Amino acid sequence: MASVNRQWLLASRPQGKVEESNFRLVEADPPPLAEGQLRVRVDFLSLDPYMRGRMDEARSYAPSQKIGEVMVGGTVGEVVESRNPRFPVGETVVGTGGWQEQFVSDGSGLLRVGGRGLPSSVWLGAAGMPGITAWYGLRRIGRPAAGETVLVSAATGAVGSVAGQLARLAGCQAVGVAGGGAKCEHAVRDLGYAACVDHRAPNFRQALRAAVPKGIDVVFENVGGAVLDAALARMNDHGRVALCGLIAGYDGVPIPITNVRPILVNRLLVQGFIVTDHMPLWEEAMAELAGHLRAGRLVYRETVARGIESAPGAFLGMLRGENLGKQLVRMAP
């Protein structure tokens, strides 16, 4: 293991859009292990939209990231040194190691994922937190019945790609909303959406209307703003909106909802959720998602940046929509 640990710290809070200067790369000496501890070499770092929220000071469901501390982040890696019998050397573990090349843990919050017949990176994507988010929001809030129409925004991303495929596997008509023609083609060709609408196209509202001729029964909402507003106008009676994310507003841009009336007249259920409130369901969700992946019923894409130096740039790119599927950093260049 390298004798120096490179880490990205939060250097300053963003004013509006995140900039690379909000992060600082430092080198730290890895501490020796105490009894009960283990050292993990990070192989993949997950870059997720929630990190944008943690960089602000505003009140949220989780505390803000402190300035000068290692950026929070999900990781998968290998145990390279251990004084903890539950985590032997060579074991693959998923956890929240943060934006750094290695970390020391007492094992709490770490999950062993080796020997499950899947590449380790999927435990940060389709079979990990984003996949579980899709599973929870769709199953427990959306509750789609076969034959219903399910609209998924950010349809090709880490969460959306799983939500859309789970909706199709449930016998629904899954319709995606994504940024640009290439993502929409991928949504229909590879992910099995019945249709996909480009939210950047000037005729977005008309195209959405045409893509859901029977109206919308379930919205799996990742974006907010104009996308959610257009979706609300097409909802059927007793429709459900699983409010998963509002990425269109994460830089502080206002995202007003003007179509409030359908919530009343169509008797809609609109429910926000945070996946980490539902930890007791994670094992069940992971087992089901892993089963679908092994059987080839669920497919996934990854956008992989190389080397720890690339993390801030890749994070900014993901927030701009440059990722196809799960955005990762592979620590080995």
The CA distances from residue 112 to 20, 34, 83, 142, 148, in Å, are 33, 21, 16, 30, 37
329/311 Cα distance (integer angstroms): 6
Task: Tell me the closest approach of the beta carbon of residue 52 to ligand NDP, in angstroms.
Answer: 8
Residue closer to ligand NDP by CB (options 79, 246) is 246
- Is 313 a binding residue for ligand NDP by CB under 6 A? The answer is no
Residues contacting 111, CB < 8 A, separation 6+: 93, 94, 95, 123
- Measured from the CB atom, is 36 or 321 closer to ligand NDP? 321
Closest-CA residue to 215 (of 195, 193, 235): 235
Looking at 113-121, 283-291, 305-313, 318-326, which segment touches ligand NDP (CB under 6 A)?
A: 318-326
In this complex, which beta carbon is closest to ligand NDP, that of residue 112 or of residue 301? 301
Q: Which of residues 203-242 bind ligand NDP (CB under 6 A)?
A: 222-223, 227
Contact flag: residue 247 with ligand NDP (CB under 6 A):
yes
Q: Which of 245, 285, 308, 310 binds ligand NDP (CB under 6 A)?
A: 245
Kindly state whether residue 178 participates in binding ligand NDP, applying the rule CB under 6 A.
yes
CB-CB neighbours of 252 under 10 Å: 11
Q: With binding defined as CB under 6 A, does residue 48 bind ligand NDP?
A: yes
Residues 251-310 that bind ligand NDP (CB under 6 A): 273-275
Q: Give least dist CB 199 to ligand NDP, A.
A: 5
Side-chain half-sphere exposure of 328, counting CA atoms within 13 A: 28
Task: Using the rule CB under 6 A, give the single segment among 22-30, 45-53, 93-101, 286-294 that binds ligand NDP.
Answer: 45-53
Closer to ligand NDP by CB, 49 or 77: give it.
49
Give the nearer residue to ligand NDP in terms of CB position, either 91 or 221: 221
Contact 149, 216 (CB under 8 A): yes
Which residues contact residue 1 at a Cβ distance below 8 angstroms, ignoring those fewer than 6 apart? 30, 39, 41, 80, 81, 102
Contacts of 144 (CB under 8 A, 6+ apart): 138, 150, 167, 170, 172, 217, 218
13 versus 17: smaller Cβ distance to ligand NDP = 17
Taking CB under 6 A as the criterion, which residues in 118-177 touch ligand NDP?
A: 130, 133, 154, 156-160
Q: Which is nearer to ligand NDP, 65 or 84 (CB)?
A: 65
CB atoms within 10 A of CB 291: 12
Q: Is 98 in the site for ligand NDP (CB under 6 A)?
A: no
Q: Which of 20, 129, 116, 122 is nearest to 73 (CA)?
A: 129
Whose Cβ is closer to ligand NDP: residue 157's or residue 239's? 157
Taking the complex as a whole, the smallest distance from the CB of residue 241 to ligand NDP amounts, in Å, to 13
Which amino acid does the sequence have at 101?
E
The contacts of residue 118 (CB under 8 Å, 6+ apart) are 127, 290, 293, 294
What are the tokens at 55?
């960089």
Q: How far is the CB of 61 from ligand NDP (least distance, A)?
A: 8
**What is the spatial distance between Cα 111 and Cα 148, in angstroms, rounded to a whole number?**
36
Euclidean distance between CA atoms 104 and 132, whole angstroms: 26
Q: Is 318 in the site for ligand NDP (CB under 6 A)?
A: yes
Contacts with ligand NDP by CB under 6 A lie at: 48-50, 130, 133, 154, 156-160, 178-179, 183, 199, 222-223, 227, 244-245, 247-248, 273-275, 318, 321, 323, 327
